[in-house]
Chain A
């Protein structure tokens, strides 16, 4: 710890406290930014701990905590110095907010900064207005100082404390989600005790904090990880089985206890998992960056709409199950049709070409040209549910879509897994690695790439078809570039070529923003931050596949004695 700190000191040859001040200024910029783009005021409407702490305050507190943590690592050696550095950085960050309050209260800046409202200043000064301008600075100093103090504690104290705080924040965020199903069961008393209608109760927060610390301490005392690691492989496998069963139960049974809205959200997540698996073949295995995924999504969605809807644009009134294979097949045919002319293009150019196709299809779907067949902005309505059940049946509503999407996702994952270890999968990976050499080994590039592209398209069509059944209609405004971006982002965040990665990516990028409606206007901001952070700190994704991990995280070994693997073609 001390060594690390002094190493940082050596790196910053300027004044020893310069780094601390810079952290404080950075924290201030972040805090002011959070306020002025409206994140803090919006979040303030959502309590984390009912009646006490809002999500807006939590966001600012987190800025202070990170400032304190970073400042402590840049401070000169010594415990007192570390805490002082934290407090200083926090005070500087808080002063930026104080300055915002003063300037805002004296000069009305709302003409320029829409969010710089009296409500924001009340939030920052805890209701005291201009008279309380000092509050953010003091609060920042206290919080960041505390964070710095915690950061220099031995890990046996630091980790349980951090764990407790994280648990409170997470449980507070998910309180609404957890409370609804618990209220109906035997746990309703516990639910009322822990959760208010909007976040944790204060008592619940304390209990959560204590329980989280307790379990963490207990887990360290009992050395769970170490014991599992020391177990013979057979026993470890025996432990794995119940874990898988529990996982399956959560995935299959838990959603039944969720209300309609959450069921809608997880159905959407499952749908994106399905499409993520599909694009994973195109992008993850064959390395073809397809930014026009929405084109095939649209083809699938309109196919199901046209074939099933009894409304004015419907042409067949087939049941969903008869239509959905056609959604995949027709999307696949479109994939062949669009793919053939462009698959000779490489890399970034292919991405641009597919992006163009996506836009063409999007514009066509909403155009007057096709309005008489596709309904334009009004769309195709009354698309029937796949399974016709009475309204009180447990499969009524979005639940059935969830299970259908889940089953299809499993199917796609199976297909992808089987293909990866086949002759074709090897050819895809070879093309991704070195297209010229792969071709010189006898691989037909266009044919092989086209197959990857068509399979991706088929699964996008499948996703689109299920989507239209989920929503019950397909309108041109559902066909957005954002669908393509979502799927690519899921794969990048989750980990390219990784099956669990897609699940995590979809939950993170689709599920979380849907659950926190407050976030919805800042969705792109969070996407941007998440993507930049991933590229910077974890380019292989959250749960990377074996191959990608070895590509990105063994640079020293790759550059070992036999260095000239994969040189460029010299003449």
Chain B
């Protein structure tokens, strides 16, 4: 059974149909990319999955459970994490604190326990810090835990945002243009890192990406959106050969 299934999803903003009657599914352990020209509705579709937008028609189910009516925090609790197209870290918290916020749901200490400083709370905190440091190391930010998020270089901010998303122990990770603004070497690193996420942690990954080399290199399957509609779906080879995709990207039929 697929992990995430969207059926007939439609999202309108006033008169604009941002996502139109979209069917989509992603298998457990897969890496699926959503591509399309600017304004095709990719991020809107992400927002619908993560609970940032309420869909107008259709259903979205995660692991068989309908999620399209749930609040963002409930969706996160089910195991869906995301990153943002324009990085949205807590700029005035340190890198470590950013990850600790991501661990929030997995910690159990109550406010009274925190005030009293009970042993349970202290152990909880120690575990959280250990886990946060492990995640920092996993994304290659070891030693930078005490730096303010806003002071990290751009590439590190992207990695920190992924580490924060991983803190939730997600089963499905939504990455919104993870290589945007990176040079070819950084892009290559990020591509390998995303593959590690799936191979080592077993996380299913849904990706919005413009960089075709990343998309073609990583994806098991690709969905192409244009004007909110799905115009193609298939393996990288199928999509690459699809005349409608080429038309959507280049505006003219292939010669």
Contacts and interface: CB of A to CB of B under 8 A. Distances in A.
B43 A426 contact: no
B101 A438 contact: yes
Contacts of B181: 564
B149 interface: yes
Given A433-B90, A569-B84, A562 B73 contact: no
A547 B73 CA distance: 26
A561 B82 CA distance: 23
A93 interface: no
Max chain B CB contacts within 10 Å: which of A419, A424, A571?
A571
Contact of A561 (B91, B104, B153): B153
B105 A426 contact: no
A558 B91 contact: yes
Interface stretch (B46-54, B216-224, B238-246): B46-54
Interface in A186-236: none
B93 A430 contact: yes
Nearest to B111: A424
Contacts of A558: 91, 150-151
Contacts of B50: 440
Contact of B152 (A440, A562, A567): A562
A566 B93 CA distance: 12
Interface stretch (B113-121, B184-192, B195-203): B113-121
Contact of A571 (B44, B75, B111): B44
Contacts of B153: 561-562
B72 to A, nearest CB: 4
Interface in A524-562: 547, 550-551, 557-558, 560-562
A427 B104 CA distance: 7
Interface stretch (A65-73, A267-275, A442-450): A442-450
B89 A426 contact: no
B151 A423 contact: no
A568 B90 contact: no
Given A415-B115, A562-B152, A442 B86 contact: no
Contact of A569 (B52, B128, B150, B157): B52
A557 B91 CA distance: 11
Nearest to A552: B92
Max chain B CB contacts within 10 Å: which of A442, A445, A558, A569?
A442
A565 B91 contact: yes
B164 to A, nearest CB: 7
A433 B92 contact: yes
B82 to A, nearest CB: 6
B105 A441 contact: yes
Interface in A422-465: 422-427, 429-430, 433-434, 436-445, 451, 455
Contacts of A423: 100, 104, 107, 109, 114, 124-125, 128
A445 B105 CA distance: 12
A566 to B, nearest CB: 5
A129 B179 CA distance: 80
Given A442-B168, A445-B73, A437 B88 contact: yes
B213 interface: no
A418 interface: yes
Nearest to A427: B104
Interface of A is mostly: helix
A422 B150 contact: no
A429 B90 contact: yes
A568 B86 contact: yes
A254 interface: no
A426 B101 contact: yes
B85 interface: yes
B101 A562 contact: no
Interface residues of A, number: 43
B87 A442 contact: no
A418 B115 contact: yes
Contacts of A436: 52, 72, 88
Interface in B113-164: 114-115, 117, 121, 124-125, 128, 148-154, 156-157, 164
A426 B154 CA distance: 23
Nearest to A546: B92
A442 B76 contact: yes
A565 B104 contact: no
Nearest to A547: B92
A437 B93 CA distance: 14
Contacts of B51: 440
Contacts of A112: none
Contacts of A443: 73, 101, 104-105
A443 B124 CA distance: 17
A567 B83 CA distance: 12
B164 A570 contact: no
B157 A550 contact: no
B73 A444 contact: yes
Interface in A328-375: none
Interface in B52-66: 52
Contacts of B154: 561-564
B97 interface: yes
Nearest to B13: A571
Max chain A CB contacts within 10 Å: which of B13, B47, B104, B107?
B104
Interface string A112-140: 00000000000000000000000000000
Given A437-B84, A443-B104, A557 B150 contact: yes
B73 A424 contact: no
A184 B128 CA distance: 58
A442 B105 contact: yes
Given A562-B152, A562-B156, A562-B157, A442 B109 contact: no
Contacts of A570: 43, 85-86
A566 B164 contact: no
A439 B72 CA distance: 6
B101 A440 contact: no
A83 B81 CA distance: 67
B6 interface: no
Contact of B91 (A418, A422, A433): A433
7 contacts: A423-B124, A430-B93, A441-B101, A442-B73, A442-B102, A560-B150, A570-B86
Given A429-B92, A442-B105, A565-B157, 9 more contacts: A415-B115, A419-B114, A423-B125, A426-B101, A434-B90, A443-B101, A444-B73, A566-B88, A570-B85
Interface of A: 414-415, 418-419, 422-427, 429-430, 433-434, 436-445, 451, 455, 547, 550-551, 557-558, 560-571
Q: Which 10 A-B pairs have the closest CB atoms?
A: A567-B86, A442-B105, A422-B114, A442-B76, A562-B154, A433-B90, A565-B91, A439-B72, A430-B101, A423-B107
